[in-house]
Structure 1
Amino acid sequence: MHRKLLLDQLSEYAVTHPDENDVIDRFVSFIENETRCFERSLGIGHITGSAWVVNEDGSKVLLTHHKKLNRWLQLGGHADGMTDVLAVAIKEAEEESGLAGFSKVGAGIFDIDIHPIPARKNEPEHLHYDVRYVLRPTGSLKFIVSEESHDLSWVDIDCVINHTTEESMMRMVQKWRNMR
């Protein structure tokens, strides 16, 4: 089953994050019921992979000022059929930052979130079932702003709130503080 890897990771995540059972249950139900859950063409929603990219000492996170959404967010994007969502997060982090090479920090999934994406052009409003991992660059921290972003910035963990008050971003700040 092409969905087994992610379902197994979500099962492990549920053990360490029992307070998130509602969103975990919604995630699992979506994956089990939608065989095309990794495909962007699934109009109701799809799996995305994101990266909470931290510097060497973990004091900063790399955020993108996303062009389409006009918000400061973590790096990430569509699975586009890839079922290894960690590989998706790494690929997206590389494409959106120009950084080459990442190591995964911590065991398993860092965070999950289900959020609506507004309708745009010919695309209806839909949900992103976002799976997030902590990544650390293995080389230079000098980024390149891609066409998908207005800007990128290494932001002190304590200053993320100056860029966004979005609930899921603040939840990741707190989770990262607890991991360090």
Structure 2
Amino acid sequence: MSGLHADALATLGSWSAPEPDQERLRRRYVAHLRVHPDGASRSCRPDHLTASTLVVDADGDRVLLTLHAKAKRWFQLGGHCESGDHRLVDAATREAREESGLAGLVLDPVPVQLSEHEVPFCRPPDGTATDGRVVHHLDVRFLAVVAADAVPEVSEESLDVRWWPADALPDPEPELLDLVRLARARVGVSRGTPGAD
């Protein structure tokens, strides 16, 4: 994962955090990666990077969420980095495609948000029990915009996958609300603000 590690350091080292709390997390992630060459691998304990994607429709009015099988909550698509992932955005893309069934996803390579959270059910790749330390996912969250008529499919990792109105999310956590807010702002900028690409 040396290529992924280098990409993660470069991506997070140059990322302009949108808010002071996000800048604090950015520095935390960079420090973690500098100390842990395996910091993007789930074998890195107790903390490791993960990658996820918020999928929105072209108007930013709907978001695609998955009902996580272990957590039993609605989240954006995402998961652990794997050895075949060369960049963080590659990991996020792979996870989003696997969990949504949407083959044509193209992600914005610039992260939207960072989120550090405890994951009590996270186990090493070999499935063994944890060593008692609480695992933290250091999630790097990206954005994908798809056509409004995109039809997702439920994967083995999810209990359900469906579109939700951006302003009526199911039992949302504050970080998910912030992610949607930041993603919608980015979609708005890319849809016609002077000077936008």
**Smaller-chain TM-score range?**
0.7 to 0.9
Partner Cα distance (1:93, 1:99) in 2: 8
- Give the aligned partner of residue 67 of structure 2: 65
| Cα distance in 1 between the residues matched to 2:80 and 2:148 | 25
Matched with 1:122 is 129
How far does the alpha carbon of each residue in 1:10-39 deviate from its partner, in whole angstroms, 9 at most, with x for none? Answer: 1332x3425122111111111111111121
* 1:176 aligned residue: 183
Aligned residues: 176
Show structure 1 runs of 5+ residues with no match. Answer: none
Q: Which amino acid aligns with 1:50?
A: S
Q: What is residue 44 of structure 1 aligned with on the other side?
A: 46
Provide closer, same or farther for how the CA distance between residues 50 and 80 of structure 1 changes in structure 2, counting only shifts above 3 A: same
User: TM-score, normalized by length of structure 1?
Assistant: 0.88
Give 1:56 deviation, angstroms.
2.2
Q: Where do 4+ consecutive residues of structure 1 move more than 3 Å?
A: 137-140
Distance change >3 Å, CA 4–CA 136, structure 1 → 2: same
Gaps of 5+ in 2: 123-127, 189-197
Q: Distance in 2 between matches of 1:41 and 1:77?
A: 14
How big is each residue's C-alpha offset from its partner over 1:143-164, in whole Å with a ceiling of 9 and x where there is no partner? 111111111110111112xx13
Query: How many angstroms does 1:103 deviate by?
Result: 1.9
**Is 1:143 aligned to 2:172, yes or no?**
no
Give the number of the structure whose alpha-carbon radius of gyration is greater.
2
1:71-128 Cα distance to aligned partner (Å, 9 max, x none): 10000010023341101111001100111111224x6111111111014672353011
Q: Which residue of 2 is the match for residue 159 of structure 1?
A: 168
Query: How far apart, in 2, do the equivalents of 1:140 and 1:156 lie?
Result: 14
- CA RMSD for the aligned pairs? 2.1
Q: Name the TM-score, length of structure 2 as normaliser.
A: 0.81
Percent of counterpart pairs with the same letter? Answer: 30
Looking at structure 1, the residues matched to 160 and 121 of structure 2 have their Cα atoms a distance apart, in angstroms, of: 23
